[in-house]
Chains A and B, each alone.
Chain A
Amino acid sequence: MQATAARPLDPAQIRALGVLLVAAQLPLVVHLPIWVAAFGLFVAGLRFALLRRDGRLLRTRPARIPSWALALFAVAIALALRKSYGYFVGRDPCVAFLFVLAGIKFLEIRTARDGTLLACLAMFVALTPFFYSQSLLGGLAMLPAIVAAGVALEALARREPGAADPSMRSAWTRSASLIAQGLPIAAGLFLVFPRLATPLWGLPADHAAQSGLSDRMAPGSISELSLSDAVAFRVTFDGPPPRPADRYWRGPVLSLFNGREWRALPPRPGGSLARGDRPVRYAVTLEPDDHRWLFALDLPSSLPVADSGSVASSGPVASLARDLQLVTRAPLTRPLRYVQESILGTRHPVASADELRIDARMPPGNPRAVTFAQALRREHPGDRDYIATVLRWFRDQPFHYTLQPPLLEDHPVDAFLFDTRRGFCEHFASAFVVLLRAAGIPARVVTGYQGGEINPRGGYMIVRQSDAHAWAEAVVDGQWQRFDPTAVVAPSRIERGLYGSVPASDPVPLFARGDSGWINNVQLALDAINYRWRRNVIEFDHDRQRTLWRNWGLDGFPAWQAAAVAMAAVLAWAGAVFAAFAVKRRRGERTVRLWNALCRRLARAGLPRPAWEGPIAYASRAAKRWPQFAIAFGAIGDAYAMLRFGPVSDDERSALVATLARAIEVLPSPAALRATAHT
């Protein structure tokens, strides 16, 4: 064993390992900083270049970089990663380090043991892209690495270097066929292997990039988000979806203002569910965004419950905060599908006096806005009157709704209201709330998504980051009421979405443009596939699995029965694979049966075959004895020799067996042959 582990690798083996490594590395490249990706691939390429040079120089021992230089390399890379990410012990820098380390190891490999280590490293590298994306495309991108793993392992297991070196193509075919044979095992494991309801070890609090809405809003933050086509969540409705004007997906509620930026309060319990008849019932599949809030249509009338296929299980996955935010216990790192109910409405009761106090604070900064508000308030002492006047003022003044507002320096609300008058929803919502608070009316900003596109191919709704929106809530007559100043300025934003509402020159993301014809169609079709992929592969978690087991009647099986079923399944699989082998073998056996029968017949006809005589020699002897059948004998000898000793593909094999059988059929009985023997 020792000797085989230290056996040096030949260039073909190193090349096969390199192919595995690159196949494992490539899908990860898009998730890495460019310099890491470039460096990792560069070192792998360097080894390939060295191999080429070895081939040219006819070296027998492959060239490699000395180990100490590589150790130095590795340390340098670790330091560079520490500097680039700002920390090292975390998922992302470690994935990057593994990526580069595998490349460096490849530069160095020399023995079979190195090869094993590299194969293991490469297999793990192939797993890492899924930390970042589990899309269908990512799933397809891993297939080359799987097949390459089979090829590399087979190359490593090869005994005689160079001898019977199978061509790359057939090695790939063989590996793919092995994987195909293992497919039932893979599928069975995927269906029944128990998933974890809770993680084994704490997921490291990673400094992962958060996406989507945040709990802060400064001028420009939502318009920047609106540039993204990315899907925020998908919704399936029980019954018809609500009208576009009712599609307000409530997210973080922002109450704290520092003159420029809005922030959310820490969530406090005490929200009350809306009550009413005819609730809208729907299921949301939320993309993980590393935040703690879920989205629901205004106003939530139930707590979200994780959806696991047909049966909803376990308790609610989030609680309702005082400001009607749905808050989870931990940041969301996996896609979540939850069932939710809402009552479509714009008014809800004030939860506590504390809320009123915080949300009526005088906004800091922005003196012009405050003065303007106070002046206006003196003219309109009634709350409703005042709010209506403000909204009317927004409508009448030349405000523009645009994705590209000018940059605002100090007192951004002042600058927006009185100078630039060009802004996106966050500008309108922010300015509106400032004007209300300055007049002593409790108000706050609500962020979330507004809108959503129905995908006709899947019968579900897609809500994208480009649907991100900010609106306002104010206390009127002792109740919170929703106001959307953006809707006043650009009514089409609510009815037709972003694209119809901003100037044509604005950089609206492609898929948010409703009119892009076939591109949009293709995109919707792809999204439908992706959605199904999500539902059935990515979200096949603990709960879905339990549901499936229950449907199969497997739940609550005693362990020994489950083990027996598993055992039987594995045996059935092995039986099936061996049956496939046997079919192949019978084709071989038929060849021998035919030949042996022929030899017996010719022996009875007076021409026995000595044990040492080969098929071609025997057939030509027979052809001399019975020249009238020379052609048949020639065909028999050639076909049999080819089947037994030649390299034949499966197709050729069946054709040759058929030829053999037909040629033997042509021959008359032994007695007739004996009578016509030509001696």
Chain B
Amino acid sequence: MTVAVLTWTARLRQRAFRSRPADRAPVVLRHSRIYILPTRRGFAIIATLILMLLTSLNYALSLGLVLTFFLGGLVAAALLHTFRNLAGLEIKPLAGGEAFAGEPLAFSVALAAGAIARRAIELRAAGAMASVSLVPYATQAIALRVPTQARGRIALGRITLSSDQPLGLWRGFAYVHFPLTGVVFPAPELNAPPPPAGAEGAGERTAGASADSELAGLRDYQPGDPLQRVAWKAVARGAGWFSKSFEGSSGQGTVELAWASVPAALAIEARLARLTAWVLACERAARPFALTLPGVQLRPALSREHLREALTALALFDADTR
């Protein structure tokens, strides 16, 4: 992110609205960031108090004034508590996630409570919402599941932390804007034709044929591995979490996936969707694959990193660089 030299108005606007992703982790919420406004209920209660005040003044009801001012003191104290519920809260970005278009993409951030309990802190960003309460000194990772539509890199954008505790009369909020991005892979084509045959043929294997495949070994489980591949016996033994990795039994060769191997008649997004489906099919079938896109050349391999590289390349494919 290039933060150019800003004019003072722009700096002021940035300070007020945090519209640029310029925050560095971690951010501790201080008074300069926390805004407080009455909620609708707050406005209603304040209006009632004003009515009570006018009535008491007009009829010279001293006790009416006492009642009104007691309740006014309650409202004022609630303001301080609302502020305190946010002040000193620490937030830092953990990771921007990955997802296929149409599925929610989870960004994770961590909240640290500091010395006091935090009640019902709401986080909103890019259409995602999460609410969390924290005990003193607790640190908690929070997933913001942002809905996705199109492939590409998406930014989490500005996070709004807010809370209307304890009485729901005041809403305190603060903006935090981290340069946190995630990658949205193209949605795989449904019922795609099978990927082109590998160098040594025998491409009739389909997804789910892993039973026929040979167990190549175990590797550490990683979040996202299909559950069918978890080595449950190892888990049951207490040895830890492993995923089985397979190798084609008939010694299949590499599958060459290329931009050119998709019918040119299809639209760009449709071609990307098909390539994505093929990449996933190869992964499921445990067949090494290579991917060639205009400007991108991935050597044949079969691994999580390779898969991610391939999907990222598809996600960030820019039609103009062809």
Residues of A within 8 A of B (CB): 1, 5, 112, 116-117, 119-120, 123-124, 126-127, 130-131, 134, 138-139, 142, 145-146, 149-150, 153-154, 156-160, 164, 174-175, 178-179, 181-187, 189-190, 193, 195-196, 199-201, 203, 333-334, 537-541, 574, 577-578, 581, 584-585, 588-589, 592, 644-645
**Which residues of chain A are near B131, meaning CB under 8 Å?**
159-160
Complex: how many Å from CA A156 to CA B42? 12
What are 15 contact pairs spanning A and B, CB under 8 A?
A: A127-B67, A131-B61, A142-B66, A146-B74, A149-B74, A156-B41, A157-B165, A179-B74, A182-B75, A186-B72, A195-B57, A199-B58, A200-B58, A334-B60, A581-B116
B38 is an interface residue with CB less than 8 A from chain A: no
**Which residues of chain B are near A146, meaning CB under 8 Å?**
67, 70-71, 74
Q: Are A588 and B63 in contact (CB under 8 A)?
A: no
The interface stretch among B3-11, B78-86, B263-271 is B78-86
Within 8 A of A (CB), among B138-181: 164-169
Complex: how many Å from CA A179 to CA B48? 18
Complex: how many Å from CA A200 to CA B55? 9
B243 is an interface residue with CB less than 8 A from chain A: no
Complex: how many Å from CA A179 to CA B70? 7
Q: Are B69 and A189 in contact (CB under 8 A)?
A: yes
Complex: how many Å from CA A618 to CA B218? 32
Number of interface residues of B (CB under 8 A): 52
Closest residue to A202 on the B side, CB-wise? Answer: B58
Q: Whole-angstrom distance from the CB of B92 to the nearest CB of chain A?
A: 16
B12 is an interface residue with CB less than 8 A from chain A: no
Q: Whole-angstrom distance from the CB of B83 to the nearest CB of chain A?
A: 9
**Which residues of chain B are near A203, meaning CB under 8 Å?**
58-59
Instruction: With A146-B71, A178-B77, A182-B73 as known contacts, state yes or no: A196 contacts B66, CB within 8 Å.
Output: no
C-beta contact mask, B30-61 vs A, less than 8 Å → 1, else 0? 00000000011100110111011011111111
B76 is an interface residue with CB less than 8 A from chain A: yes
Among candidates B45, B55, B70, residue contacting A120 with C-beta atoms closer than 8 Å: B45
Which of B62, B80, B166, B169 has its CB near the most chain A CB atoms (within 10 A)?
Answer: B62
Instruction: With A119-B45, A153-B169, A156-B41 as known contacts, state yes or no: A127 contacts B80, CB within 8 Å.
Output: no
Q: Are A123 and B64 in contact (CB under 8 A)?
A: no
**Which residues of chain A are near B69, meaning CB under 8 Å?**
185-187, 189-190, 193
Instruction: With A130-B64, A179-B77, A537-B66 as known contacts, state yes or no: A157 contacts B166, CB within 8 Å.
Output: yes
Q: Are A578 and B80 in contact (CB under 8 A)?
A: yes
**Count of A-B contacts judged by CB separation below 8 Å:** 172
Q: Whole-angstrom distance from the CB of A473 to the nearest CB of chain B?
A: 35
Complex: how many Å from CA A199 to CA B48? 19
Q: Whole-angstrom distance from the CB of A10 to the nearest CB of chain B?
A: 14
Complex: how many Å from CA A333 to CA B61? 10
Q: Whole-angstrom distance from the CB of B32 to the nearest CB of chain A?
A: 16
Residues of B within 8 A of A (CB): 39-41, 44-45, 47-49, 51-52, 54-78, 80-81, 84, 115-116, 120, 131, 133, 135-137, 164-169
Q: Are A195 and B73 in contact (CB under 8 A)?
A: no
Closest residue to B167 on the A side, CB-wise? Answer: A153
**Which residues of chain A are near B73, meaning CB under 8 Å?**
179, 181-186, 189
Nearest 3 Cβ contacts at the A-B interface = A182-B73, A157-B168, A186-B73
Among candidates B47, B55, B60, B62, residue contacting A537 with C-beta atoms closer than 8 Å: B62
Q: Are B55 and A154 in contact (CB under 8 A)?
A: no
Complex: how many Å from CA A186 to CA B54? 16
Which of B41, B49, B135, B166 has its CB near the most chain A CB atoms (within 10 A)?
Answer: B41
Complex: how many Å from CA A174 to CA B117? 14
**Which residues of chain B are near A130, meaning CB under 8 Å?**
56, 61, 63-64, 67
13 extra interchain contacts, Cβ-Cβ under 8 A, other than A181-B73, A185-B77? A130-B61, A134-B61, A146-B70, A156-B41, A158-B120, A178-B81, A186-B66, A189-B65, A189-B73, A333-B59, A537-B63, A541-B62, A581-B84
Which of B39, B55, B66 has its CB near the most chain A CB atoms (within 10 A)?
Answer: B66
Which of B52, B55, B56, B60 has its CB near the most chain A CB atoms (within 10 A)?
Answer: B60
Q: Are B62 and A153 in contact (CB under 8 A)?
A: no
Complex: how many Å from CA A182 to CA B71? 8
Complex: how many Å from CA A311 to CA B76? 34
Instruction: With A146-B71, A181-B80, A190-B66 as known contacts, state yes or no: A127 contacts B41, CB within 8 Å.
Output: no
Complex: how many Å from CA A368 to CA B147? 104
**Which residues of chain B are near A589, meaning CB under 8 Å?**
115
Closest residue to A184 on the B side, CB-wise? Answer: B73
Among candidates A178, A186, A538, residue contacting B63 with C-beta atoms closer than 8 Å: A538
Q: Whole-angstrom distance from the CB of B312 to the nearest CB of chain A?
A: 31
**Which residues of chain B are near A196, meaning CB under 8 Å?**
57-58, 60
